A = this chain, B = another copy of it.
């Protein structure tokens, strides 16, 4: 059996790494749409169109049995559409993250950070409120975090100041739990922990593994690892050692996606 993962770029490799480690026998196919990254500043219609292209590509070419949308922006806008289109389980990052946050929080004050589009979509807020209407939710878009991570500045002075600039107002509001609503952000986890050690951090990639485990799928295969990107990427090279291991990587043409 095989798992498909798609992301707007390479941030979803944090999900790939976690899934690959936890399901060693599953065949795993990752598609990073690096030619059109980031989705986070695009309109809803554009995000849905791109997501359909990526998802159907993985489904048609590799017969994946389950599809993970590793991109928070795509999860926020395109999950319902993809569930309707594809005859397999489709998992976004929002629901698993929200479930873990509800379990973690003691004082019912939860912070959510992500791209401008993810926060604007209100998807975490909606999911959290459904799970517990009494939650107090504080959201904040953090557009500098992705480029910081892609530059490899995850624990220098600039990273620390930027984390403080974005997060202090959430902390001041008394949150005890923080959802990292973007797949790049787990790479800043240690810096956030160092500055705010008392906060429970929800890392979507770990939440997704737990969520898949609960689906009780038979995920035995040949342990194949295959990573596809739609364009070469400076950041991809930075992430490679950290997250990919020795998986096969391949560049595909954007026109192959668009022609579906």
A binding-site residues for B, Cβ under 8 Å: 34-37, 41-43, 46, 116, 143-144, 146-148, 150-151, 153, 156-158, 161-162, 165, 231-235, 254
Contact = CB atoms under 8 A, between A and B. Distances in A.
Q: Which 6 A-B pairs have the closest CB atoms?
A: A147-B147, A116-B234, A158-B161, A43-B232, A43-B231, A144-B147
A59 to B, nearest CB: 24
Nearest to A141: B234
Nearest to A49: B254
Nearest to A9: B41
B151 A234 contact: no
A41 B235 CA distance: 9
A41 B254 CA distance: 15
A179 to B, nearest CB: 21
Nearest to A158: B161
Contact of A147 (B143, B158, B161, B233): B143
A42 B165 contact: no
B46 A37 contact: no
A190 to B, nearest CB: 19
A157 B157 CA distance: 11
A206 B116 CA distance: 32
Contacts of A153: 144
Contacts of A161: 157-158, 161
A36 B37 contact: no
A3 to B, nearest CB: 27
A254 B42 CA distance: 12
Contact of A35 (B37, B46, B144, B233): B46
